Amino acid sequence: MNRRKKINSILKKKAKKANAKKAPPSNKPRYIAKAERVEEA
């Protein structure tokens, strides 16, 4: 793998991670453990 390609792939990975962090949190409800569910009921 040549140097340019390697640098490019590293930059792409970094950009992907930064983009994932920037994304708004999903509206999926937080997982509730079985024990907590029993306590609530």
Q: What is the pLDDT of residues 1-41, one digit of tens each?
A: 699 999 999 999 999 888 877 767 777 777 888 888 787 66
What is the model's pLDDT at position 41?
Answer: 66
Minimal CA–CA distance to 32: which of 22, 19, 41? 41
Residue 10 belongs to domain spanning:
3-40
Sign, CA torsion 12/17/22/25: positive
Domains of the chain: total? 1
Instruction: Return the SS3 of 36.
Output: helix
pTM over 0.75: no
36 to 3, 29, 32: CA distances (angstroms): 52, 14, 6
Q: Would you state the structure tokens that stand for residue 9, as one six-digit string?
A: 């792939």
